Amino acid sequence: MNIGSSKLVDRIIENALDEDIGPGDITTSAIVDPELKGEARLLAKEELVLAGMEIFSRVFSILGPGITVESQFHDGDMVRDGAWIALLKGSMRGILIGERTALNFLQHLSGIATLTRRYVEKTYPATVRVIDTRKTTPGLRILEKYAVRIGGGANHRFGLFDGILIKDNHIATAGSISKAVERLKTRVPHTLRIEIEVTDIESLEEAINAGADAVLLDNMSLEEMSSAVSIAGGRVILEASGGVTLESIGEIAKTGVDLISVGAITHSARSVDISLEVT
């Protein structure tokens, strides 16, 4: 699965390496012979959905030639607790210098993919899609949104530049939903879908009448969401949002909404436990 621009991804990795290594790894340089070759294994210490193996391997490629990463697993695979994920061979200096940065990426992205998979599974058998938000780690959005896709979720807009979402503050500034939509339609391309955030049924009806393509139902109750689905009657895409948890997403899915956005899958995902052990 495509992560995105290789130049952007490499820049993210290079910044992370610069942050960690600085002018050099004092400990490794003093202890490890520069000519020493060896092996190390990646061990899963809990069940997880793997995401970020390409990033993990790329860390060592950027550090220099001579380190290979061999794995029987691919992104999206469920890895059991205790499984060996990959074998690294080559310069022991390079392996030890890149270890923490590579693990940070792999643990973080696998954590997002694992949590996303749990949310997605809670929606079965409904056909609703679980989507992410812009609540991501600054500088890592392209990677985190990739991990969401690996976990079975889908992406909302990437940033402010590639989608229209009229939120409560936009409406307050414009004066009303109708006025906000009217201004948009005279100033943006007709090819962009217009989504409007609403908090009650009255605002939903105003949004539909104003020409919305999608409506975000913000912090509505299950009863309100069910009513919104009936009122919309398929005329607009409905997205449920606000405080969605693993305990509540199943019931939300049953209301018939099309999308459920979950900020927690990126901003609150726990890094999974993966270790690298020299063999």
Catalytic residues: 100, 135, 167, 197, 218
Residues in the chain: 279
C-alpha radius of gyration, the chain, whole number: 23
The pair of structure tokens assigned to 95 is: 């392996």
Rounded CA separation 209/165 (Å): 16
Rounded CA separation 47/49 (Å): 7
Is 234 within 8 Å of 215 (Cβ atoms)? no
Is 76 within 8 Å of 241 (Cβ atoms)? no
CB atoms within 10 A of CB 163: 15
Q: Under DSSP, is residue 45 helix (H, G, I), strand (E, B) or coil?
A: coil
The stretches of the chain forming alpha helices (DSSP H) are: 6-21, 26-31, 53-63, 92-122, 141-150, 168-174, 177-185, 201-210, 222-232, 249-254, 264-267
The pair of structure tokens assigned to 31 is: 């202890």
Say which amino acid occupies 266.
T
CB atoms within 10 A of CB 58: 21
Is 49 within 8 Å of 110 (Cβ atoms)? yes
